[in-house]
């Protein structure tokens, strides 16, 4: 087991043993840092922390904007707890160590002719970091990564190891698939997989009024539908992903680079930097950039369609709303931007998810639409996010656990029907709050 004083990795290298997240808005100074390479080493580290009276948190790659992984006790680093442990074709599952990056999982599955059914739009996270905070894609029939978990291994507060599935410790499995790190440290995850398939992506500009007016139709007709609205304009870009018989027709090397790297990252980075220096220029930039969008269609394997590089750093807030309320709330957000002095350089992202049965899933027991707002890193965001949050809360919105919000346990208990079920499980597994930190005290209570 490697012990380090300075934290590195995708979360960022701090000074004098400090840790910071990807966006740079969260820092912490753990008393001790370990990087276990096995479940046994992880369990030993938890037992040692308990003996020394330290709290314990596990960090992924730092892609959460909340301080979900911040600790002043023991920080568990993921970089050695990685790798594919088992592929069971007959059962249709893959078992991976908790610190495995999604990009490694996806590429390994592809090499074996397999795929997850759905995923989010980045691949930098670890599998346990992504699932523990509720990472999701968009989908008519599937969205959440946590809902694809069929079994997991959990190191609990006393250093014991629990195997959990629908058949083994089912009450723990029900909560630990999306556990915020509150129940223990996940050491291994088993996902359902299927034979690799092809997706045809159709990207097309569409006016705001048309896409919102046709939203139910577009979401119903497509397996995976999402759209982006450009604030200060009436313009959107839509994306429809559907399974295809092929043949594969990926974007051309040059055209793909132009769309996904030059425009989406390089030019967008410059536009955001100009907007930060001269906020008054943002509406004009938004109008030009949104009108420059063009339609394109391509067909490729799932992870190459679902995911895309995200090199421009930002902060984000995302709320999950009841599907019936989402378009009304989005209209209120658009009206807010139009009547305010806010200058918003990032598009607003809208995605969907079916209801699931996970206690702390943002789609728990209800059909869901996600509305996400972003601001360029080091740009004042509090007023815009605060006003957005008031709109979302008025519609019984549930904040994404890994993205900025101010909601507390009192509010969350009202919008999650199984909130009490989760906190009771936490009381049983971690009565001394070995895995607590300030964020968990905020969202789950003492």
Among candidate residues 46, 74, 58, 73, the one with its CA nearest the CA of residue 11 = 58
* 264, 210 Cβ separation under 8 angstroms: no
* 288, 240 Cβ separation under 8 angstroms: no
Show the tokens assigned to 286. Answer: 């938004």
Distance CA 265, CA 69 (A): 27
pLDDT of residue 312: 84
pLDDT of residue 255: 59
Distance CA 426, CA 182 (A): 7
Q: Which residue has the tokens 């609205």?
A: 229
Local mean pLDDT, 10-residue blocks, the chain (446 residues): 36 62 94 97 98 97 96 97 97 98 97 97 95 97 96 98 98 97 98 98 97 98 97 96 95 62 65 86 86 88 91 92 97 98 95 97 98 93 98 98 98 98 98 98 95
Before 247, cis peptide (omega within 30)? yes
* 164, 172 Cβ separation under 8 angstroms: yes
pLDDT of residue 258: 47
Distance of CA 162 to the CA centre of its chain: 25
Is residue 260 classed as helix, strand or coil in its secondary structure? helix
Distance of CA 435 to the CA centre of its chain: 21
Phi and psi torsions of 409, nearest 5°:
-60, -35
Can you say whether the dihedral through the CA atoms of 249, 253, 254, 255 is positive or negative? positive
Please work out, in degrees rounded to the nearest 5, the angle formed at the alpha carbon of residue 58 by the alpha carbons of 53 and 59: 135
pLDDT of residue 446: 82
pLDDT of residue 309: 78
Residues shown for the chain = 446
Among candidate residues 396, 318, 377, 301, the one with its CA nearest the CA of residue 352 = 318
Cβ atoms within 10 Å, residue 387: 16
Q: Are strands 114-115 and 194-195 parallel, antiparallel or unpaired?
A: antiparallel
pLDDT of residue 2: 43
Distance CA 242, CA 369 (A): 19
Query: For the CA atoms of the chain, what is the radius of gyration?
Result: 21
Helices in 199-320 by DSSP H: which ranges? Answer: 208-213, 215-221, 253-257, 268-277, 282-291, 302-306
Can you say whether the dihedral through the CA atoms of 158, 163, 168, 172 is positive or negative? positive
* 336, 391 Cβ separation under 8 angstroms: yes
Phi and psi torsions of 400, nearest 5°:
-60, 135
pTM above 0.85, yes or no: yes
Please work out, in degrees rounded to the nearest 5, the angle formed at the alpha carbon of residue 289 by the alpha carbons of 288 and 291: 70
* 96, 85 Cβ separation under 8 angstroms: yes
By CB atoms closer than 10 A (0-12, 13-18, 19+), residue 41 is middle
- Which residue(s) pair with 1 in the sheet? none
Distance CA 176, CA 361 (A): 11
């Amino acid at each position: 087991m490697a012990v380090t004083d300075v934290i590195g990795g995708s979360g960022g290298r701090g000074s004098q043993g400090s840790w910071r997240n990807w966006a740079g808005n969260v820092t912490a100074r753990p008393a001790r840092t370990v990087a276990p390479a096995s479940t046994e080493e992880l369990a030993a580290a938890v037992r040692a922390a308990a003996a020394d009276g330290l709290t314990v948190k596990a960090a992924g790659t730092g892609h959460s904007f909340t301080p979900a992984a911040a600790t002043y006790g023991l920080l568990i680093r993921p970089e050695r707890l990685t790798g594919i442990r088992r592929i069971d074709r007959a059962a249709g599952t893959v078992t991976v160590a908790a610190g495995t990056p999604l990009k490694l999982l996806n590429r390994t599955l592809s090499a074996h002719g397999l795929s997850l059914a759905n995923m989010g739009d980045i691949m930098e996270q670890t599998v346990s970091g992504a699932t523990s905070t509720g990472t999701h894609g968009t989908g008519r029939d599937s969205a959440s990564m946590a809902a694809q978990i069929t079994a997991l291994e959990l190191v609990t507060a006393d250093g014991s190891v629990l195997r959990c599935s629908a058949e083994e410790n089912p009450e723990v499995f029900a909560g630990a698939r999306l556990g915020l790190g509150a129940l223990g440290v996940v050491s291994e995850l088993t996902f359902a997989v299927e034979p690799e398939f092809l997706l045809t992506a159709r990207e097309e500009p569409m006016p705001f009024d048309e896409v919102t007016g046709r939203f139910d139709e577009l979401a119903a007709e497509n397996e995976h539908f999402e759209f982006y609205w450009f604030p200060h304009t009436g313009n959107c870009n839509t994306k429809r992903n559907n399974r295809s018989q092929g043949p594969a027709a990926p974007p051309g090397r040059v055209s793909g680079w132009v769309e996904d790297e030059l425009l989406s990252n390089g030019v967008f980075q410059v536009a955001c930097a100009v907007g930060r220096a001269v906020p008054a220029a943002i509406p004009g930039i938004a109008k030009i950039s949104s009108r420059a969008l063009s339609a394109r269609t391509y067909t490729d394997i799932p992870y190459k369609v679902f995911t895309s590089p995200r090199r421009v750093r930002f902060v984000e807030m995302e709320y999950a709303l009841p599907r019936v309320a989402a378009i009304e709330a989005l209209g209120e957000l658009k009206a807010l931007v139009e009547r305010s002095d806010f200058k918003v350089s990032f598009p607003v992202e809208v995605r969907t998810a079916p209801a699931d049965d996970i206690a702390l899933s943002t789609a728990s027991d209800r059909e869901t639409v996600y509305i996400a707002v972003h601001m360029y890193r080091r740009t004042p965001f509090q007023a815009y996010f605060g006003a957005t949050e008031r709109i979302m809360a008025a519609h019984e919105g549930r904040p994404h656990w890994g993205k900025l919000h101010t909601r507390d346990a009192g509010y969350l208990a009202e919008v999650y029907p199984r909130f009490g079920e989760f906190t009771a499980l936490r009381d049983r597994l971690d009565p001394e709050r070995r895995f607590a930190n300030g964020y968990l005290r905020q969202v789950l209570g003492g």
